[in-house]
Chain A
Amino acid sequence: MSSTHAAIASAALPAGSSTAATASKALTVGIVGLVLTALGVAVTPDKHGPVMSYLVGITFCTSILIGMLMLILIHHIVDASWSVVIRRQFEHALSAFKWLFVLFLPLLVLAWVKPGFVWPWMDLGHELHGHGTVGTDILYQKKAGFLNLNMFTGMTLAFFAGWVWLSARLRKASFTQDLDGDIKWTFMNRQTAAFGLPIGALTLSFAAIYWVKSLEYHWFSTMYGVWFFANCIRGALAIGVIIMIWLWNRGDYKGVLNTNHFYSIGMLAFAFTVFWAYITFSQYFLIWNANVPEETFWYNLREVNHDGSTNQWWYVGLVLLFGHFFVPFLYLLSYKHKVVHSKIKPIMWWILAVILVDMCYNILPALKDGHGDSLPFLSLNLLWVLTSVVGIGGVCTWSYLKSFPTAKLLPIRDPRISESLTHHE
């Protein structure tokens, strides 16, 4: 952070708006969460549960940041106006990408130290249920050019490098424009958006394939990247609203935001609720209808045990159907529910919770018992999911709060700031 930024920004913030104390608290909470997760790994006889839960946590937090990155890029490419006043908060949050990379490192190290511990295909000697090992599996052999440790490591590094680099460019241009008001920064951000969107689309798609989909490496779906994108945007919008209300309650956004900002972001949240449902339904429906075993096994794992009995994941699927779609869909139909702070805030927390459940649904059934059945959803693993989210989320919050005082509350020299401040329906 440059001292000039800090000096200018602090002068603009209202008295008592310091975020240093809150940042420290967030970091403390984050560290506690991470320590508890580490303890979980230490004390649990089968280490897989806490480690996979940690993967849920980091995928969840990364997805939210990717969503913020994509929203900023879309904002610039379409020369949007109403979202200018909110954009700055997303820019602060992007500072957490580098910390997410640091927090992903344990998984990368684990992949090298103990291949196959998280992603079974990394261990060629890994026993498959009923048909030999990964190394002798024809399906693995066909994919070995993509599913190998070197590629995984290189691609993961490339994903984070891309996100950190794009974030740095966006933040630099936006923050510097506060100082000099030069229009060239707006054009620079548009350029970043132009090449950043394809980069973002490809990296998020392949991150979803490598980190999540490849846990069941036999399975494939062309829709998977789009499903991940839908969750990314929904998570980003939810956190966006929560930040807006937090800053409103602090006094920072009073007189800055109006009802229409909440209405617009609420509408976007509604639209992406429908989009998520559309994507998720299409994927499920096409696989269910075709009924090809090489595809349906992924859903079967999430519905039935080897003896035909229904497992817990079937109910989790219903929670997703109703909780991830019907509840927010019906709730956000109401105008009041989008603009009244006390109404919109709970549904945004709810959306975040069901995104987390969706991540669990996609990741945790890879944990299997001796029969090849997925371990139940209601287990100690849920605790480790929560400690991971608290830990990683705490670090991200700390990063956001550390960045917060380094720039103005609003992009005061953005060419569309006046339009944003007078945003109306």
Chain B
Amino acid sequence: MAHAEHAATPPAILQEVKPAVLPRAVMVANNRSFSWITEKICGIIEGKTPTWWWVCFILACLVASFTVAGIAYLIATGVGVWGHANPVNWAWDIVNFVFWIGIGHAGTLISAILCLLRQKWRTSINRAAEAMTIFAVVCAGIFPVFHVGRVWYAWYLFPIPNSNAIWQNFRSPLEWDVFAVSTYGTVSVLFWYVGLLPDLAVLRDRFYASGNKLRSALYGFFALGWRGSNRHWSNYEMAYLILAGISTPLVLSVHTIVSFDFAVSLLPGWHTTIFPPYFVAGAIFSGFGMVLTLMLPLRAIYRMEDLITQYHIDCMCKITLATGTIVGYAYAMEFFIAWYGANPYEGFAFINRAFGHYAWAYWIMISCNVITPQFFWFKAVRENTSFVWILSIFVNVGMWFERFVIIVTSLARDFLPSSWGYYSPSIVEIFTFFGTFGVFSVLFLLFIRFLPIMPMAELKAVTPQADVHGGGDHH
């Protein structure tokens, strides 16, 4: 078997190898020790609840109550409380659904795809990003469930024939969404939970040592008897890799199917073949925007500059730049093919987007999604964390507007000019969507208060002292 193995005598060319010096950025700065990492991460959970956390939590609960109130009003009254009317029968509900689902994608990308690509920088941000994924899926799920109006019939979405033996329309991508999103949510929770096991065990042991038996028992229950033996680690690594392998096609399929919600139709502006990869790139773009929005304040509050280094911020900015540029390519290609295809309806849809009644939304989208990430070309921008944070907000805003532009502008000007209309959201819709930021924040605040926000074992494995080559250039 001709395996590529080292020859007995090294070839002459290797004698000449003399690499130019360009050190790799360290993943954990200032040569922090293993115990420092443990203390830093566990300290957040073990310490007294800070005042800012309570302020944010109460505020988040208040904001979340808008969603609760909006939904309660909708259930009591009917979907007429939303601003939908012919021809725009889909608007903020599906916009918000796609927006939140898209945000979740960065978590899976960081935890699964970057894991398969052996990108070590993911370790500082993957736990929080995975949590973000799950909470984003929760927020996303609210809209399709409640947009059915009579929510007590939402179970009709599942493949169970109703009383007249009528099955769901399996040819509808909305039905595929049910399977895709529920599978995605399940696997994301599993992936997150498996990654948490070693850290939950650390917390169990630390609470036990400090005499807090109740919390020790609670963390111990969820740690599933983790002892950190070689066998445990071996099984853990294999399970993690398998879940990464499963999650990778899953995350791509979810947003592909979301793109099919539109692309399988005949509506100008929706029916275009580039939608699947374009939606996936957009989802990663928006997800990284949200990761930056969340991680930069966390980094500042908990003084985690040694764990989330400038290198991590650089990497996140560059991925945002790359995916934003891919999204820009898709916008340009759509526009070009709308002209090249010479279909007057398709051409009108795109001209109408850029110069019609919703032009303001279109140009917000272009400014935020195509122009904003171009700032990340500059090192000075990437090193200014306040500015990066502001830009990340623009990315979030831009990606919401992208979905709004795609969905509403195409529907508002459909094939029948007599039915053309202008969609405006109702106050109930606005409140319901606004409240989801509260729902998301409540969940995220609970996460950072009660669970380790970074995987300690993985972080220790990427420190310079854990490098088998002695922390040199090799890895």
The yes or no answer to B13 lying at the interface (CB within 8 A) is yes
The yes or no answer to A102 lying at the interface (CB within 8 A) is no
The yes or no answer to B266 lying at the interface (CB within 8 A) is yes
The yes or no answer to B12 lying at the interface (CB within 8 A) is yes
Output the nearest chain B residue to A223 by Cβ-Cβ distance: B273
Select one of A222, A289, A413 contacting B20, CB under 8 A. Answer: A413
Output the nearest chain A residue to B333 by Cβ-Cβ distance: A222
Given A139-B342, A143-B342, A278-B252, residue A414 in contact with residue B20 (CB < 8 A): yes
What 1/0 flags go to B240-271 for Cβ under 8 Å of A? 00000000010010001000100111100001
Output the nearest chain B residue to A410 by Cβ-Cβ distance: B13
Looking at the assembled complex, report how far the CB atom of B298 sits from the nearest CB atom of chain A, in whole angstroms.
26
Q: How far is the CA of A278 from the CA of B265 in the complex (A)?
A: 19
Q: How far is the CA of A229 from the CA of B210 in the complex (A)?
A: 58
B274 touches A258 (CB 8 A): no
Q: How far is the CA of A201 from the CA of B11 in the complex (A)?
A: 38
Q: How far is the CA of A353 from the CA of B285 in the complex (A)?
A: 36
B21 touches A410 (CB 8 A): no
A409 touches B13 (CB 8 A): yes
The yes or no answer to A226 lying at the interface (CB within 8 A) is yes
A residues less than 8 Å from B474 (CB atoms): 418-419, 422
Q: How far is the CA of A112 from the CA of B469 in the complex (A)?
A: 62
Select one of A183, A279, A342, A417 contacting B277, CB under 8 A. Answer: A279
The yes or no answer to B19 lying at the interface (CB within 8 A) is yes
Select one of B5, B22, B275 contacting A286, CB under 8 A. Answer: B275
B263 touches A14 (CB 8 A): no
B2 touches A282 (CB 8 A): no
B residues less than 8 Å from A81 (CB atoms): 475
A residues less than 8 Å from B264 (CB atoms): 286, 289-290
Select one of A198, A222, A422 contacting B272, CB under 8 A. Answer: A222
Given A181-B20, A412-B18, residue A256 in contact with residue B274 (CB < 8 A): no
Select one of B21, B252, B343 contacting A183, CB under 8 A. Answer: B21
The yes or no answer to B325 lying at the interface (CB within 8 A) is yes
Output the nearest chain B residue to A423 by Cβ-Cβ distance: B475
The yes or no answer to A12 lying at the interface (CB within 8 A) is yes
Q: How far is the CA of A256 from the CA of B6 in the complex (A)?
A: 7
What 1/0 flags go to B287-327 for Cβ under 8 Å of A? 00000000000000000000000000000000000000100
What 1/0 flags go to B75-103 for Cβ under 8 Å of A? 00000000000000000000000000000
The yes or no answer to B1 lying at the interface (CB within 8 A) is yes
Q: How far is the CA of A73 from the CA of B298 in the complex (A)?
A: 34
What 1/0 flags go to A12-40 for Cβ under 8 Å of B? 10100000000000000000000000000
The yes or no answer to B9 lying at the interface (CB within 8 A) is yes
Q: How far is the CA of A184 from the CA of B163 in the complex (A)?
A: 73
The yes or no answer to B3 lying at the interface (CB within 8 A) is yes
A418 touches B473 (CB 8 A): yes
Select one of A287, A294, A413, A422 contacting B273, CB under 8 A. Answer: A287
A residues less than 8 Å from B14 (CB atoms): 255-256, 421
Looking at the assembled complex, report how far the CB atom of B90 sits from the nearest CB atom of chain A, in whole angstroms.
18
Tally of contact residues, B, Cβ under 8 A: 51
The yes or no answer to B380 lying at the interface (CB within 8 A) is no
Output the nearest chain A residue to B22 by Cβ-Cβ distance: A415
Given A14-B12, A415-B22, residue A282 in contact with residue B337 (CB < 8 A): no
Tally of contact residues, A, Cβ under 8 A: 65
A226 touches B342 (CB 8 A): no
The yes or no answer to B17 lying at the interface (CB within 8 A) is yes
Select one of B13, B249, B265 contacting A12, CB under 8 A. Answer: B13
Q: How far is the CA of A421 from the CA of B16 in the complex (A)?
A: 13
Q: From residue 181 to 230 of chain A, which have CB atoms closer than 8 A to chain B?
A: 181-183, 186, 194, 198, 201-202, 205, 209, 220-223, 225-226
Looking at the assembled complex, report how far the CB atom of A11 sits from the nearest CB atom of chain B, in whole angstroms.
9
What 1/0 flags go to A107-141 for Cβ under 8 Å of B? 00000000000000000000000000000001100
A residues less than 8 Å from B473 (CB atoms): 415, 418-419
Looking at the assembled complex, report how far the CB atom of A348 sits from the nearest CB atom of chain B, in whole angstroms.
15
Q: How far is the CA of A421 from the CA of B274 in the complex (A)?
A: 39
B residues less than 8 Å from A302 (CB atoms): none
A415 touches B11 (CB 8 A): no
Q: From residue 256 to 313 of chain A, which have CB atoms closer than 8 A to chain B?
A: 256-259, 261-262, 274, 278-279, 282-283, 286-287, 289-290, 292, 294
Output the nearest chain B residue to A15 by Cβ-Cβ distance: B12
The yes or no answer to A248 lying at the interface (CB within 8 A) is yes
Looking at the assembled complex, report how far the CB atom of B62 sits from the nearest CB atom of chain A, in whole angstroms.
43
A282 touches B256 (CB 8 A): yes
A414 touches B13 (CB 8 A): no
B residues less than 8 Å from A416 (CB atoms): 19, 22
Select one of B1, B17, B329, B377 contacting A417, CB under 8 A. Answer: B17
Looking at the assembled complex, report how far the CB atom of A224 sits from the nearest CB atom of chain B, in whole angstroms.
8
With a 10 A CB-CB cut-off, give which of A81, A282, A283, A340 has the most chain B CB atoms. A282
Q: How far is the CA of A287 from the CA of B58 in the complex (A)?
A: 50
B residues less than 8 Å from A220 (CB atoms): 337, 340-341
The yes or no answer to B276 lying at the interface (CB within 8 A) is yes
The yes or no answer to B209 lying at the interface (CB within 8 A) is no
With a 10 A CB-CB cut-off, give which of B249, B273, B333 has the most chain A CB atoms. B273
Looking at the assembled complex, report how far the CB atom of B334 sits from the nearest CB atom of chain A, in whole angstroms.
6
B333 touches A254 (CB 8 A): no
A290 touches B333 (CB 8 A): no
Select one of A181, A225, A342 contacting B2, CB under 8 A. Answer: A342
The yes or no answer to B7 lying at the interface (CB within 8 A) is yes
A221 touches B273 (CB 8 A): yes
B22 touches A12 (CB 8 A): no
Given A201-B329, A222-B334, A254-B11, residue A12 in contact with residue B20 (CB < 8 A): no
Q: From residue 2 to 36 of chain B, which have CB atoms closer than 8 A to chain A?
A: 2-7, 9-14, 16-22
Looking at the assembled complex, report how far the CB atom of A101 sits from the nearest CB atom of chain B, in whole angstroms.
25
Q: How far is the CA of A262 from the CA of B4 in the complex (A)?
A: 8
Q: From residue 326 to 376 of chain A, which have CB atoms closer than 8 A to chain B?
A: 339-342
B343 touches A222 (CB 8 A): no
A138 touches B342 (CB 8 A): yes
Output the nearest chain A residue to B3 by Cβ-Cβ distance: A259
Q: How far is the CA of A226 from the CA of B325 in the complex (A)?
A: 14
A143 touches B22 (CB 8 A): no
A residues less than 8 Å from B1 (CB atoms): 340, 342
The yes or no answer to A146 lying at the interface (CB within 8 A) is yes
Q: What are some 26 contacts across the A-B interface (CB < 8 A)?
A: A142-B339, A143-B342, A177-B20, A181-B18, A182-B20, A183-B20, A186-B22, A205-B333, A220-B337, A221-B337, A225-B333, A252-B11, A254-B11, A258-B4, A258-B5, A259-B5, A278-B252, A286-B272, A290-B264, A341-B3, A412-B13, A413-B19, A415-B21, A418-B19, A419-B475, A422-B474
Other than the given A143-B342, A412-B19, A418-B17, 20 more pairs (CB < 8 A) read A183-B21, A186-B22, A198-B325, A198-B329, A248-B4, A252-B13, A255-B6, A255-B7, A255-B11, A257-B4, A259-B5, A261-B4, A282-B275, A286-B260, A290-B271, A292-B266, A408-B16, A413-B18, A413-B19, A415-B21
